[in-house]
Amino acid sequence: MNTNRLLRLRNAMQQHKIDSIALTPGPSLSYLTGLHFHLMERPVIGFFSSDGSIALLLPELERIKADHMQPEVRVFSYDETAAGRENTFKDAAASLNLSGAVIGIEPLRCRAFELWLLQSVLIDSTYRDGTDLMSSIRVVKEAAEIEHLRQAVLIAEQAMEALLAQVKPGMTEKEIAAELVIQLLRHGSEPELPFEPIVATGPNSALPHAVPTNRKLQYGDLLLIDWGARFAGYISDLTRTFAVGEVDPRLHELYQVVLEANTKGRAISRPGITGAKIDAQTTDVLISAGYSELVRHRTGHGIGLEAHESPYISQDQHTPLQPGMAFTIEPGLYYPELGGVRIEDDMVLTDTGVESLSTISREWRQL
């Protein structure tokens, strides 16, 4: 385990007045332990207490993962029976001395299943949202994390170029998405992609979170692709919009405005600026061009072990950004029933400015 991360966690817990944080399988648990579990009917919970003690509750079949961990971790494992699980949870609760404690959880990760188990054995404890606590120690990326992000971007870009050489009218959105997944794996992505690729053609590109359908790519369409790769657990998240032959002039104009907004957002990103200010100035480019009614979303979000994490580039984020923070710049405009444009890049703040990890062309491109 990374002792520096554990020390930062202890300091953050003291600042947030949380006695222990209970983490279920997901990015935060992996971030702290280096171990990977998945959510299933056999619960796994990691307890990290402000005094530095660490405990893992897990099924016996997963115990080998936790053997010989450093620093030392107390492991409570249970058998395949419901009674065995219940008794182990009770023994762990008594041993960890968490009665009456303030326990943090991640609401977006902790299922009702785990919360009910915790409440059944720690009935007089208080449960608090620990999202901000975990974000505070994960949001500034270490040098190795940035390199993993960089590699995830490279894989994604190589996969896209390989895909575009095969795209032609008549292919369905599902076929294009399937080929993209193949190319991502061929170029080195981990099998668990950050998200299912968005492939949207023609009027479907006006849906920011479109799901690939059987619609066939046609001449005169915009083709919007939002995709990413995963490397060493870290993700990339990119979007490019392409023209298939000659398109409606309104869509070409839309593209130029979105490109200008993307350029603006990347240019003003730097340490000390807030997500709210980047969002405001980027969105102002879209609004000033007369497209206020076609704006559908914020300018960006953080990336790391998750496709969406802190810092968020949105109007309510007023904390100054710091070197080492990584996020997207992804303005978009969407004409209902006609088509939409989004251009998304992955950025990381340096000590003196900002670097775009993504380099694939943003210029108007006809296939």
How much is the pLDDT for 31? 96
How much is the pLDDT for 258? 98
Which range has the worst mean pLDDT, 77-91, 180-194, 266-280?
Answer: 77-91
Which range has the worst mean pLDDT, 4-8, 274-278, 299-303, 343-347?
Answer: 4-8
For residue 139, the Cα-to-chain-centroid distance in whole angstroms is 11
pLDDT grade for 97, boundaries at 50, 70 and 90: confident
Q: Which segments within 83-160 are labelled E, that is strand?
A: 102-105, 126-129
Task: Please check the confidence at residue 7 and state whether its pLDDT lies above 80.
Answer: yes
Task: Please check the confidence at residue 49 and state whether its pLDDT lies above 90.
Answer: yes
The whole-model pTM stands at 0.94
Average pLDDT along the chain = 96
How much is the pLDDT for 244? 97
Task: Please check the confidence at residue 67 and state whether its pLDDT lies above 90.
Answer: no
How much is the pLDDT for 312? 98
How much is the pLDDT for 356? 98
Closest CA to 254 of 343, 173, 167, 329: 343
Q: How far is Cα 367 from Cα 365, in angstroms, rounded to an integer?
A: 6
Of the options 3.90.230.10, 2.30.110.10, 3.20.20.370, 3.40.309.10, the CATH number for the domain spanning 143-356: 3.90.230.10
Q: How far is Cα 303 from Cα 250, in angstroms, rounded to an integer?
A: 32
Please state which CATH class domain 3-138 belongs to.
Answer: alpha beta
Task: Please check the confidence at residue 366 and state whether its pLDDT lies above 80.
Answer: yes
How much is the pLDDT for 241? 98
pLDDT grade for 43, boundaries at 50, 70 and 90: very high
Cβ proximity of 321 and 275 under 8 Å: yes
How much is the pLDDT for 72? 80
Q: How far is Cα 201 from Cα 324, in angstroms, rounded to an integer?
A: 35
User: Rounded to the nearest 5°, which phi and psi values hold at 146?
Assistant: -65, -40
Cβ proximity of 271 and 322 under 8 Å: yes
Domain boundaries, the chain: 3-138, 143-356
User: Rounded to the nearest 5°, which phi and psi values hold at 107?
Assistant: -55, -30
Closest CA to 201 of 181, 174, 179: 174
